[in-house]
Amino acid sequence: MTFANVLGLIAVGVVAGVVSTVVSLASVISYPALLAFGLPPLSANVTNTVSLVFTGLGAVAGSRPELADQGGRLRRLGGMSITGGATGAALLLVTPPSTFEAVAPWLIVVASLLLLCPPRLEALTGSLGGGHLLRAGVFVVSIYVGYFGAAGGILMLAVLSSVLRDAPARLNAVKNVLSGLANAVAAIAFALFGPVQWAAAVPLAAGFLVGGRLGPVLARRLPGRSLRVAAAVSGLLVAVKLGLDTYL
């Protein structure tokens, strides 16, 4: 890992960290960057997950005003997030690397489309019951976050918004915490049992920490719709490139 590569990964981390907290699609930037630096797909994914922990830390630090008086809500949902993240990490570790390589392009396609058209789940709350939907939704989304995670924040925010009635900024802060918990427990599993490339993880994590801290501040000022479209188009282009490399 050269000095130029280290600086490049820090810069990628800053940009992806901001994108993560503003439009919830950091992995569409950071995962392909790690591939470009020469990491195999599975190693790039687990390295990315470990580094993303610092985006969550930065995002929580930047969202402290919005998290005020939400401790009870976070305690009720945090266990589901941790359990789901552990389940997703286990699925990734016990399945062959070729399985992840085959599904990664499709996961990025789905993530990018979700960014353009966020799901609306309000119609389900009446039939399933808001509390049951919320807990089940947090658990299922956390499995996805533990496995790969791109656009997991969008799904988490959709689940929260479908049940909870609160200011968008406060729900976004809860989303950052719950997604961060799922990602953190997956990162612990990958650090212990996965092929993490620490030479890449450390500078990327440093950039994520800065970007995650800046994200909530910028989210209050930037045009979210334009960022969503730009990130989604970039994600689709990355998915096409990965698909061509995998299937041709």
Query: Of the ranges 39-43, 83-87, 103-107, which is most confident?
Result: 83-87
Chain segment 146-161, per-residue pLDDT in tens? 998 777 877 888 788 7
Give the CA count within 13 Å in the CB-facing half-sphere of 44: 19
% helix / strand / coil in the chain, to the nearest 5? 85, 0, 15
0.85 exceeded by the pTM? no
Task: For residue 90, name the pLDDT band (cuts at 50, 70, 90).
Answer: very high
Smallest CA-to-CA distance from 7 within 167, 156, 200 is with 200
Domain ranges of the chain: 3-247
Smallest CA-to-CA distance from 202 within 51, 37, 43 is with 51
Task: For residue 194, name the pLDDT band (cuts at 50, 70, 90).
Answer: very high
| Paired tokens of 148 | 């790969």
